[in-house]
Chains A and B, each alone.
Chain A
């Protein structure tokens, strides 16, 4: 069994108002140092991992905004992957991109280097709301980015959307969905805006300058999206993810199926050999470690069987097809009903989950309160 490879590019043109990801403003010198360090990190793993754990099954380059790198820099990153790992042709290779940071040259390079999936942070169709979010682009630029991607030869496109933005209404959200579907992406992700503490957006809401959407509206937006996308042949396969047949994101599926992945770059997370570990979130520490030839790992957690079972369940339940009970048995050597007897009994009684054939999954009622269900298992 191979692994999924995640590479974090922690740079953006400018920080968005709601963002609490690890991302820094774009500074050429810093980027250069970072890419050198990243190369070293790949080398370290390449020297130490057994061959089967260098066998890539998916690649995902995320951020930040990977596309704020220059074409040749992106090329170098991809070349390094090819050099240090075993990269079979035809595997899913995703790059995250933001409108306003892509041009035909970059996209062509990506496509040529076997990147076959582009994930675009469109977020919303309204320029006003884009401003509320503090995004560095307009909707027009998003449309343009989609066209460029097509031109460059991408045929697997994801568009990220956010709902529940202060000022957004049910009607405007519907319009946003319609315009998105009009761009005919293969995949759509929708996220409910979360106010992360200390972000500019959070401060504005706290000080009363902006008002969040009422909970009922957010729920209605969510339900509307599910219905609208379904009507347009996007199948919901995960709580926040919708895809045309055959276009589910293979990389993200690994997370939900709770199988191995290696994360490289600042703050990246990995799950290998029943260990979860992650890199430091401090860019200087990251650079220094690699200069000294050390892995920049800041935390390692061994996952016990018990925890692995818990995680497998609450991650698996995120998928609409649910958790495969046979696979669960094969993986852990016990029946889920014996491990989580009381929890299952209660949740089945409340009608929040169902056992359908050989899978355990959220019901329609369970979906909007999924966290409640997940909590039962930790």
Chain B
């Protein structure tokens, strides 16, 4: 990566910050029951993906973690804070959220101002803000666009701008809603690299994704949702191999898992290297297929 030597803006030192979702239900004002009794514990430093069919309640759930939505029943704790007792602005210092639709998030007229918006809300000095913005834009490889109007960028680029906005806030917890939507191979690699870097720094990274191959490549824990509930929750290698269960919520295992299962290999690997190793193991090195 071009900016490999750049450090990620450091997380605000705030101590370990688990997330606890206790029996949360949520009903939209129009009457839709979008969450029905969801319970989860997310430890500091975990990398967790949420998958599931359209309308399962994924976005509704993560909007509870940064306080944008408050539970109709149950409670959400971020560290020792109950989200109902703190403003969204305060919770945002702990939890950064990248919206599914970048146009719901972007408010400023230049990319630089947009990325600097969060740090400004957090009361950082101008010098600090400038450093945060520069570091975050470098990470998403948009340093040349600081003065550009966000609407002169493509949707894929605007998504990267919103990602930078959240990186610039240096929160201990980051949530990405469909980060790879509309990205090409380079964008995928860029976002994957950012996720790996955040994991390396011990931050909590949550993502919602329909890209199961991306999920398999970067997230150790997977939560499967359907109809406002958690269907399964566990290690990616186990959960993503449960084809029948996944199908009930319109999800398929990753490509390599489907291939390993079709070949009846002893193990379903999540990476190309892992797949080749399994193949080697089952045939003996140098064996002919």
Do A and B come together as binding partners? no
Residues of A in contact with B (beta carbons under 8 Å apart): none
